[in-house]
């Protein structure tokens, strides 16, 4: 089969995970080429920033129109390279990027313009303060294969509209999609040196981290993220790290079983479970545990698995054999330690090399890998709990903290529990779709990462904050300058009383004591 294709040394290939078809072969960018790309980006960035935010917004608007025109074509490319059903590619990738562009069009100008900083300190009233936001310069982006369009696009759009240049290193598994993103942005008016794509593997990513970039945005595994953080720390390179999740779903005793089970099945199996926001731990109140588990198993068994290019397919392949073996190992470990397979639990070799049946597990525990480590596959493990407090403890018993969900008919109860869960996002009566809310930040706590993408907080990550202060009385020496002395000390004690004493009388006496400070003699 074509999946046995071995790339030549120094090359990588894009392969359709459903069919094994080799889509394209690429030469790996060398360290020298990566460094040169960053140098070109530095040279091009000032002119891009100099265009002004309104012109950059116009470029993003043109990109949005081009993407909308080619929405189905782009979705098909994503499906061919990443495997997910075409409708998922359209909704979770293309639609997300279109809406992100809309958000930046509507909000970037107000966000990036100077903001007045009021001065409440009386001694500073002669000053005028401004808060300015300036681009970092060159943003390096290392993006993953599971969302090869929406993740790099949302981050790239934020960086570009803020006036940065971007050097993007996509996953070696999905280079074609990244190049298509770049082609759209180039056609929309982004200069080629302002946005560059460097193709390669882990060594290419290391080269980018060590190049003269001004900030790095990385999405990937915890292990790689930690290594990147250590390298970046050596030269104080600022980073945004989105490092995955082990997202819990809490089904309370008043939840609608039919709705919650359908939500669990979709959130666990969409993109074959290969999403950092996938439900990977499901905790269900003991009173609903059996009927809920049976409903999930029944619905999972109805899912149609196959090539995502077929519009009737619900679940596509895993990205490659390595990922499938990881899923198998987690399921087998759970079996050995007492978990019960309600449905699935097997390869679908009849469909191809990378297919795995949607799997529902019962009687799982936190001693199993399936409840501790990121599985990144089509598996839904379900565990019972007795009280809300126990559910929260189970949800928080994880090294990860990206997202979570609470399912209940009582919204106030759900939101109260959501506040107690350690995660960057908690949804009530839905899961995963928070990534499609362009106004909302995306990112986690604990081992799920550092910083945020999306929304205003994502834009904030793309700029340096500068405070600009101007004095309105340039011809006058400041009263706090040298020539201190005993008299000045008493005056300043009075001034502090004027500003902060609790009684009016003490404030008045302080005003009288400090009144002579403006005529103070002996200033240097």
The catalytic residue positions are 242, 276
Three-state secondary structure call for residue 323:
helix
Three-state secondary structure call for residue 30:
coil
Residue 229 tokens, joined: 């953080």
Long-range residue pairs from 130-134, CB within 8 A, at least 24 positions apart, any chain? 130/467, 130/468, 130/469, 130/470, 131/465, 131/466, 131/467, 131/468, 132/465, 132/466, 132/467, 132/468, 133/162, 133/463, 133/464, 133/465, 133/466, 134/163, 134/463, 134/464, 134/466
Closest alpha carbon to 164 in 193, 130, 131, 205: 193
Element (H, E) at 251: strand 247-251
Give the DSSP per-residue string, 419-449.
TTS-SSEEEES--SGGGG-TTS-B--EETTE
Distance CA 414, CA 474 (A): 57
Long-range residue pairs from 183-188, CB within 8 A, at least 24 positions apart, any chain? 184/63, 184/66, 184/67, 184/70, 185/59, 185/63, 185/156, 185/160, 187/62, 187/66, 188/59, 188/60, 188/62, 188/63, 188/66
Residue 113: burial class (beta carbons within 10 Å; 0-12, 13-18, 19+): exposed
């Amino acid at each position: 089969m074509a999946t046995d294709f071995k790339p030549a040394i120094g090359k990588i290939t894009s392969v359709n995970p459903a069919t094994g078809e080799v889509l394209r072969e690429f030469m790996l960018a060398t360290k020298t080429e990566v460094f040169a790309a960053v140098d070109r980006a530095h040279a091009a960035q000032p002119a891009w920033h100099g265009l002004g935010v309104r012109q950059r917004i116009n470029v993003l608007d043109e990109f949005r129109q081009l993407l909308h025109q080619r929405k189905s074509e782009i979705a098909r490319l994503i499906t061919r390279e990443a495997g997910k059903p075409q409708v998922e590619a359209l909704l979770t990738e293309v639609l997300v990027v279109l809406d992100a562009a809309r958000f930046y069009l509507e909000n970037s100008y107000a966000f990036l313009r100077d903001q007045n900083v009021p001065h409440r300190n009386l001694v500073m009233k002669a000053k005028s303060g401004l808060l300015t936001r300036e681009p970092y310069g060159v943003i390096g982006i290392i993006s993953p294969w599971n969302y090869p369009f929406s993740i790099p696009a949302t981050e790239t759009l934020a960086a570009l509209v803020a006036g940065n240049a971007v050097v993007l290193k996509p996953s070696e598994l999905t280079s074609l999609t990244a190049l298509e993103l770049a082609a759209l942005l180039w056609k929309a008016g982004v200069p080629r040196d302002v946005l560059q794509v460097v193709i390669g593997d882990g060594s290419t990513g290391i080269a980018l981290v060590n190049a003269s970039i001004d900030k790095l945005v990385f999405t990937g595994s915890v292990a790689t993220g930690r290594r990147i953080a250590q390298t970046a720390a050596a030269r104080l390179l600022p980073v945004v790290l989105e490092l995955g999740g082990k997202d819990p779903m809490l089904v309370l005793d008043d939840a609608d079983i039919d709705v919650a089970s359908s939500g669990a099945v979709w959130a666990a199996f969409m993109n074959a479970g290969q999403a950092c926001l996938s439900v990977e731990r499901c905790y269900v109140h003991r009173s609903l545990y059996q009927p809920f588990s049976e409903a999930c198993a029944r619905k999972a068994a109805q899912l149609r698995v196959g090539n995502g290019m077929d519009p009737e397919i619900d679940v596509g392949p895993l990205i490659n054999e390595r990922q499938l073996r990881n899923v198998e190992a987690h399921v087998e470990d759970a079996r050995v330690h007492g978990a019960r397979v309600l449905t699935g639990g097997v390869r679908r070799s009849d469909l191809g090399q990378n297919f795995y049946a949607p799997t529902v597990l019962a009687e799982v525990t936190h001693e199993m890998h399936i409840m501790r480590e990121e599985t990144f596959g089509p598996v839904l493990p379900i565990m019972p709990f007795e009280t809300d407090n126990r559910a929260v403890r189970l949800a928080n018993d994880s090294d990860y903290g990206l997202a979570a969900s609470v399912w209940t008919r009582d919204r106030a109860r759900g939101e109260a529990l959501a506040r107690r869960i350690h995660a960057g996002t908690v949804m009530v009566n839905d899961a995963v779709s928070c990534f499609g809310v362009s106004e909302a930040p995306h990112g986690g706590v604990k081992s799920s990462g550092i910083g945020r993408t999306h929304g205003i907080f994502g834009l904030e990550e793309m700029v340096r904050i500068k405070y600009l202060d101007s004095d309105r009385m340039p011809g006058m020496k400041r009263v706090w300058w040298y020539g201190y002395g005993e008299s000045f000390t008493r005056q300043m004690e009075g001034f502090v009383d004027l500003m902060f004493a609790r009684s009016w009388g003490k404030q008045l006496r302080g005003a009288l004591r400090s009144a002579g400070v403006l005529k103070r003699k002996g200033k240097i």
